[in-house]
Amino acid sequence: MPITDTGELDLDSFAALMTERTRIICLVHLSNALGTINPIKRIIAAAHQRGIPVLVDGAQSAPHLGVDVQDLDCDFFAFSGHKLYGPTGVGVLYGKEDLLDRMPPYQGGGDMISAVTLEKSTWAPLPSKFEAGTPMIAEVIGLSAAIQYVESLGLERIAEWEQQLLSVATERVSQISGLRIIGTAKEKAGVLGFVLDGVHPHDIGTILDDEGIAIRAGHHCAQPVMQHFGIPGTARASFGLYNTPEEIEALALALGRVGRMLA
């Protein structure tokens, strides 16, 4: 699906892209590169009118937004543990029961079968069918603790705080000469991607790192997005529940020094 110059999905093109050959639609809920919150509920409803299932990548939205999969009516929803302040290497895949029942297991192992003969196998009921072998016990316990932690704080409170940080940061860095924000959607979460005239994003990240400021730099696994904007990548500040306005001011001051040093 094409995007606009503000970093929003071009919904006018969406209907034309769905054809009789479309088997599934996959999209992010919240863009890691631009911060755009996509109108997935509207997209899901349009897809379902044509009998097309929808998989939502919620890796970014689960830690920052309140998510109700039943309200969204998505067919699948996935997110990773480490972006939710939990362990690495573990995550969650939600799927509607009727679809999961029809899907074959993708790997074999202990505890995922009901019966085995030399001629055939029958699968265990959900969710065991997809959980072959010894599960990641410690990681799942850690992920549960992380989910309980953010729920104790309140995802709505987290989202409100991060919106305040994004607003402060957007206004502050917009004052920096030669800096351009990439991704200016109306519905946006706490991601601030930007470029500085004449400075490669990796150089920005390296210099800020020397000052104890951690950002990400590069194409963020979203090269088609960067190609749309005609840039090799962005520097990206991501805000979480632990960030403060004082840290934003430190970022802005450091970026000003970067611009004067390298531009």
Residues labelled catalytic: 221
Residue partners of 101: CB distance under 8 A and separation at least 6: 126
Whether 43 contacts 25, CB under 8 Å: yes
CA atoms within 13 A on the CB side of 174: 9
Whether 34 contacts 7, CB under 8 Å: yes
Report the C-alpha gap between 131 and 127 in whole angstroms: 7
Enter the tokens of residue 34: 């631009």
Q: Which residue has the tokens 């997110």?
A: 79
